[in-house]
Amino acid sequence: MVRIFRSRFAAAAVAACTMAVAVATAVPAQADPITGSYVALGDSYSAGSGILPPDFTANPLCARTTRNYPNLVADALRVDSFTDVTCGNADTRHFYENQHPSVAPQLDAVTSDTDLVTLTIGGNDNGTLIKTIAACMSSGMFTFGLGSPCKTFYGDRFTEDITNKTYPAVKKVLEDIHAKAPSAEVAIVAYPQVMPEDNSNCFLTMPIAKGDVAYINNIQDTLNGVIERAATETGTTFVDMSHSIGHDACKPVGTRWVEPALWGLNTVPVHPNALGMQKMADAVLVNIGG
């Protein structure tokens, strides 16, 4: 079954790479659906929180859309079994315990028959990413964008938590997924760039002090770094999103893949938009099945 999946992975990856140049050509006939089971896990960056339309089969607290990257991947591969248990605000604990009364542990969705698993996770552990950005925006507004108040107050706390707590938690999740689905390909997707790589800022839409942009970038780089490390050590496919540099929340509509905190298009700020979800799906399709 994995071999069948891989042939479809290759075809879908080619489609993702050539879509832009194929617009003017005739639409090819659809191939028959493949046999295979795909399970999507993860947090709001997997769930596509803030993007319409909502997934009415999901608990409303999960803020899941039917146009998240797992759905786009499932559509491209045309799997005949797709289970999406992604849920906004999930962290690694919620792979083992209920996130909400009607939201079961995410690992429950993975079985020995699963052929493909994707996930993005780790950003909510210890308040690492979104809560850090929120805290830094509060600090930035207090100083009217001057200095580096967030770095001054928090110091190395976040990067230390990522290294000492998030990394082993993500690694354990990946190990346990492989144990439950030993024949599956498991792919973990990195978090796309939130702030400009050149450490510039856009205070009116992302009110982070100029001196704290590099601080936020270092935190995100550290997070993606431990995710890649955990992937490498567990035989998991790491889906790099470094090509999202230049498509951060400070960029204009049509260029950015992540929406800003203020005046953005998503109902959930500082999260991937529809274009960002498509780019994450494309990256998954290019990386899996190798």
Is 44 a catalytic site residue? yes
Is 7 a catalytic site residue? no
CA gap 112, 180 in Å, rounded = 6
Which H or E run contains 128? none
CA distances in angstroms from 107 to 94, 166, 171, 207, 243, listed in the order given: 8, 18, 14, 37, 30
Catalytic pick among 94, 178, 247, 271: 271
| CA 201 to chain CA mean position, Å | 23
CA gap 23, 267 in Å, rounded = 30
Catalytic pick among 37, 44, 49, 148: 44
CA gap 77, 207 in Å, rounded = 40
Q: SS3 of 147, please? A: coil
CA gap 287, 239 in Å, rounded = 6
Are 189 and 228 within 8 A, CB to CB?
no
Are 172 and 226 within 8 A, CB to CB?
no
CA distances in angstroms from 145 to 42, 137, 138, 140, 202, listed in the order given: 33, 9, 10, 5, 10
Catalytic residues: 44, 271
